[in-house]
Amino acid sequence: MNIPALFDLAGRKALVTGASRGIGQAIAEALAAAGADVAVTARGMAALGETCRRIEARKKSAFAFSLDVREVDACARVVADAAERLGGLDILVNNAGCEEVRPSLDVDEALWDRIVSTNLKGAFFCAQAAARQMADSGEGGAIINLCSLTSYVGVPTAVPYGSSKSGLMGMTHALAAEWAGLGIRVNAIAPGYFRTAMTDVFYQDAAWQEAMLAKIPQRRFGAMEDVAGAVIFLASDASAYVTGHCVPVDGGYLASI
């Protein structure tokens, strides 16, 4: 049994949405480090420059595309264009997402639609477009969705976000069951507490940090390498018999509540 070969992504073609910064950027770089050529998306092309540089520093090809995942036609077009530029598509990571903390009694339709359309609708239509590419190739592939601790637990003032991420968990289960016969595996990861541009407002509060660390058995916040390792596992042949699951990457948070 060749264990290193199980995790080797040499020759694989990957697409990561929402890859201009934070977790998405780290995932794109990790896929390249494992051997994949990587296409990345964000709403603005300029924001993808650093991500592409990191991929190319790993001696892999990088392709950037502008994409707002709320636009269904654009999802299909960009996934097809990425597959053409890459020479195929083996891996999709649905990372694009947004959040805004707001008391539920103050949530309006515009906020609800923005969050749910980005986190859930966009993920579905990107997955659908990717699955068509993977099925047509006859080779199958791996789709990885970015869920959340809110896929499991209720968080006050994050109802639209939690609803979208709970829906994404259900979508992961259903697509895994439906597409297994096509050779397409669909899994997810649920990052715990990671400091990113989207969550930085919380980490500026020292009292909040202290309270959250007390709830995490490992007593630390997540590092980008923690997410990267889980994604490589789910994208590679090491997880060939794993589909329909969500892997929490949370330092033991969910296990302790």
Q: Treating both helix axes as pointing N-terminal to C-terminal, what angle do 49-57 and 22-33 enclose, rounded to 10 degrees?
A: 20
Helical pair 122-137 and 159-179, crossing angle rounded to 10 deg: 20
What is the rounded CA–CA span in Å between residue 182 and residue 173?
Answer: 15
Amino acid, single-letter form, for residue 47 = A
Distance CA 39, CA 233 (A): 19
Between the two ends of the chain, the Cα-to-Cα distance in Å is 38
The catalytic residues are 161
Give me 20's structure tokens: 């201009």
The Cα 56–Cα 32 span in angstroms is 8
CA 214, CA 201: separation in Å to the nearest integer? Answer: 19
